[in-house]
Structure 1
Amino acid sequence: MNAFIDKMRRRAGRYLDVRSTPVRPSRGIFSLSFDDIPVSAWTEAGPILAEHGIKATYYVCGGLSGGENMGLPQFEPEHLEALRDAGHEVGCHTFEHVSTLRIDAAELDASLARNAAWVSDVLDGYEMRTFAYPFGDCALGSKEVIDRRFLCGRGVRDGVNAGTADRNLLQAVGLESRRLPGYDLEGLMAETAANSGWLIAYGHDVMDGPTPYGCTPDDLDRIIRLAKAADLEILPVAAAWERATA
């Protein structure tokens, strides 16, 4: 019964309180994002991003720093400092990596405030401007909280943001070994270019033999090359939002 209730609550969050915003960049946009920040999302992905000369968004949970998640070591503060110094965006993923289905709006706001304070302390006053829902779970009451604090919130529902999009639950595709075989990546890139849309990809670890939620270095390299071949502009999420909604 709990699984059924959670499913219904996810559907309510997806289809109710939709805060539609025009998404009409002059040129199609592609954004890369990494959630939780396993160490490999920086140590393995960072050099690939640098080689291609692009910036990504890293969604951080302060409470995971120095710990373990999904059996993988998570980032240390020095990794966060390094990726910030390299010009990548740091976004919010709650402090505790908690589903919004498990907390109420006040608890969510408190978690976001705690994460903001932690990141500000580690990164000398840095202010996060975008949000990604842990597990992709968007409870209906969470949207108002996200709307007050951030430019936009990203979910995990497959699709290209084009024409209009819910600014508090942007669509994205999984840069994950469990999902990648089911995508027509070339088709998604072509659709984004043709419709002047915005395609967001999200992943976790980057390594040979990744978890179901991560990808290989070759997977990451390939998706970047496909975005470039489609002549998409590659931007972090906050910069992409400003370009797409200007």
Structure 2
Amino acid sequence: MWSALQGRVSNRLARHFRAAPHRLPARAPMVSFTFDDAPDSAAGEGAELLEKHGGRGTFYLSGSLIDQPSDHWQGLSNDAIVRLHRAGHEIACHTFSHQSAVDLDEAAMEREIERNRDHFRSIDSSIMLENFAYPYGLASVWRKPQLARAYRSARGILPGVNHGVIDLQFLRASPLIDRDIDTTGIDRYFDEAVASGGWLILYGHDVADRPSPYGCTPHLMCHALKAAEKRSVPIVTVAEALRRIGA
């Protein structure tokens, strides 16, 4: 009970303590499609839909979940990771064990970082884990400075468009999840990105006709891709977005 309360407090503080402030330049909007954990459908259906629209995604992976079944999906394989990487998608980082950042001290977080790096280097030595996403969306005010030394960015799940002065270690991300948003909500986020010239990040997990509570249907994803196309919003990986904003 006390640990859970500490985690919620740390996460709330992390929203306000800027570990890596950066001002986005005034320019055209962009969108990043991101997928968490390791559903094989994200690497299959999700990646294929992105590629059909000329885009690439960012996949935040935990080494311990690769090729493992869960209650909701089968984990993607090493071969799928290599295919994603060679097709131009970004392989990015969760903690290796998928433990929450709020439950890890500095030494434990360092071990998680190194285990994930070693794991993905063993799959393909050219995979560079440049960016991080907080498992369960829970950021730690104590771990943010540590993560800032290890990664170019860290993504949460606080919805909204990134614009103006942002915190690279607490990037906002909005759900691409059927139970949390509909097509009208997707359009609203894209309109906000266009109006602000900001960076919209969408996050989800599996992509399936009958998705998990954390995933989306191909229909919802196609709507988001067409919303980007309709508004001439480029689809970029998180790594590419950071290069574009000079971070």
Work out whether residues 177 and 211 of structure 1, in 8 Å CA contact, stay in contact via their aligned partners in 2.
no
Q: How does 1:52-201 map to 2 (within 5 A)?
A: 52-181=53-182, 184-201=185-202
TM-score (structure 2 length as normaliser)? 0.95
- In structure 1, what residue type is equivalent to 2:186? L
Q: Could you list the runs of 5+ residues in structure 1 that have no partner in the other structure?
A: none
Distance 2:245 2:22 in 1: 10
1:205 deviation in Å?
0.5
1:209·1:216 contact (CA, 8 Å) conserved in 2? Answer: yes
Question: How much has 1:60 moved relative to structure 2?
Answer: 1.1
Q: 2:18, 2:169 within 8 Å by CA — same for their partners in 1?
A: no
Partners of 1:8 and 1:177 in 2: how far apart? 28
Alpha-carbon shift at residue 151 of structure 1 (Å): 1.0
Residue matched to 1:39: 40
2-structure distance, mates of 1:208, 1:182: 16
Q: Tell me the CA shift for residue 18 of structure 1.
A: 4.1
Give TM-score, length-normalised by structure 1.
0.95
Q: CA deviation at 1:158?
A: 0.5
Q: Is 1:137–1:155's contact at 8 Å kept on the other side of the alignment? A: yes
DSSP-derived class of the 1:115 partner: helix
Aligned residues: 246
For 2:135, give the aligned amino acid: P
Write the distance in 1 (CA, Å) between the matches of 2:23 and 2:14: 20
TM-superposed CA distance for 1:119, in Å, is 0.6
What amino acid sits opposite 1:21 in the alignment?
A: H
> What is the SS of the residue equivalent to 1:179?
coil
One-letter amino acid of the structure 2 residue matched with residue 117 of structure 1: D
> CA RMSD for the aligned pairs?
1.5
Contact between 1:193 and 1:231, CA under 8 Å: does it hold in 2? no
Aligned partners of 1:212, 1:182: CA distance in 2, in Å?
17
Shift of 1:196: 1.1
1:217-236 matched pairs, under 5 angstroms: 217-236=218-237
Q: State the distance in 1 between where 2:18 and 2:109 align.
A: 17
Question: In 1, Cα distance between the equivalents of 2:154 and 2:201?
Answer: 12
CA distance in structure 1 between the aligned counterparts of 2:62 and 2:13, rounded to whole angstroms: 25
Instruction: Check the 8 A contact 2:45/2:208 in 1, yes or no.
Output: yes
1:115 deviates by 0.3
Alignment partner, residue 10 of structure 2 = 9
SS at match of 1:235: coil
